[in-house]
Amino acid sequence: MKQYALRLKGFFTGSVRRQRITYSFLGALAGYAYYHFVGCSTGTCPISSNPWISTMYGAIMGFLFSPGKPKKLQS
């Protein structure tokens, strides 16, 4: 179990591209969950009335909130 946890930690702290893809996927899941659980039944809400739009919005937000490259410290 410890080895699995270390591999999982390595996956999330690996390359920036992998982190952005992971955060985008998690954001897409959160966007769809928002549509499913909160949603808008009247269809007047621009984001939460359509599952495709809310999923893409979540993916974009996940991408934007993903961490970038760490800055190198100058010594």
Report pLDDT digits (tens) over 25-60.
Answer: 999 999 999 999 988 878 788 888 889 999 999 999
**Sign for the pseudo-dihedral over CA of 48, 51, 56, 58:** positive
SS3 70: coil
User: Which of 52, 73, 69, 65 lies closest to 26 in space, CA to CA?
Assistant: 65
In this predicted model, which residue has the larger pLDDT, 72 or 41? Answer: 41
In this predicted model, which residue has the larger pLDDT, 17 or 31? Answer: 31
Is 0.95 topped by the overall pTM? no
